[in-house]
Amino acid sequence: MRSIQPLRYTRIALALALGALALPSRSAEVTVLQPVDSSVVRGTVEFKIRAQHEQGEQLIANPMVALQDEMGTELETTRTLRDPKTGLCSMSLDTTRFRDGLYYATISYRSILNGKVQDTEQDMTFGIRNGSGRATKVGVQYEDRDYPVKESCAVTVKVVDQRGRPMPAARVSLKAEGGQLDQETRITDSSGETTASVDVEQAGNVTLTITAENLPPVKRVVRFVP
């Protein structure tokens, strides 16, 4: 399954607005304002994108939005439409056409500055859930042993619904007291699972707190040794 890189993936919304984010390595960038990263959406998702550029930089074509499933397979690519009054580029995505689960979106566009073509790309991750499933139980699995400081601990979280079936597109929040996580918010895939990586800088116990949807938190302790 395609891994999620927390520095690349930002945010998606039912009403999605993108603004400028200045980065030294690029002349243009986009960012999603709301809601938080790794959100769960349903029904029709409205993308609203604003491409910000340096003075004199011009957009060659309206941004494209490419949708991928949890395996990274591209499902469809749609070009946005630009509102000449607001400068916003928008498109609608009917999520009911897809099964519930984990998805990725890549926004890309091309501009020109001082005669040079500039390519800008932004990735996002989100869950689609239109079903009536409700999270009722959280399972946490990892190898219960002492981990060397230089080794990561892989933790798998599984969420099931009221019928005991895997719960796709469940939002899982993780905290690691005494350690670091590769990502603090994740979305379960079609099997109802998501995996996080725990690391430390020095030996000691790491207390994990895992919360799925509105369920009570689950705590686990991971031991790291020199």
Instruction: Render pLDDT for 18-44 as a digit per residue (tens, 0 to 9).
Output: 333 333 334 455 544 433 467 899 999
Mean pLDDT of the region 66-77: 95
One-letter identity of residue 129: R
Q: What is the pLDDT of residue 29?
A: 58
Give the mean model confidence (pLDDT) for residues 171-178.
96
Cis peptide before 35 (omega within 30 of 0): yes
Structure tokens given for 84: 């000449």
Residue 99 reports pLDDT greater than 60: yes
What is the per-residue burial (b if ≥16 Cβ within 10 Å, else e) of 86-109?
Answer: eebbbbebebeeeebbbbbbbbbb
pLDDT at 115 over 60: yes
The string of pLDDT tens digits covering residues 129-141 is: 999 999 999 999 9
| Mean per-residue pLDDT over the chain, rounded | 84
Domain residue limits, the chain: 9-128, 135-225
Q: What is the dihedral of CA 94, 97, 101, 105, to 10 degrees?
A: -50
Instruction: For 171-214, give the DSSP string.
Output: EEEEEEETSEES-SEEE--TTSEEEEEEE-SSSEEEEEEEEETT
Is 9-128's fold the same as 135-225's?
Answer: yes
Count each helix (H run) and each strand (E run) in the chain, helices first: 0, 21
Report the CATH number of the 135-225 domain: 2.60.40.10
pLDDT band at residue 52 under the 50/70/90 scheme: low
- Supply the pTM of this predicted model: 0.78
pLDDT, position 13? 36
First-to-last alpha carbon distance for the chain, in angstroms, is 31
* Cα–Cα distance for residue pair 11/158, rounded to 1 Å: 23
Check whether 210 has a pLDDT greater than 60.
Answer: yes
pLDDT of residue 30: 58
Q: Are 147 and 224 in contact (CB under 8 A)?
A: yes
Q: How far is CA 124 from the centre of its chain?
A: 5
Percent of the chain with pLDDT over 90: 60
- CATH class in words for 9-128: mainly beta
Cα radius of gyration (the chain): 20
- Give the span between the Cα atoms of 67 and 77, in whole angstroms: 6
Residue 28, pLDDT score = 55
Long-range CB contacts (< 8 A, 24+ apart) of 120-123?
120/26, 120/28, 120/29, 120/30, 120/51, 122/10, 122/18, 122/29, 122/30, 122/31, 122/32, 123/5, 123/8, 123/9, 123/10
Extract the tokens encoding 132.
């009536």
- Residue 121: the pLDDT is 86
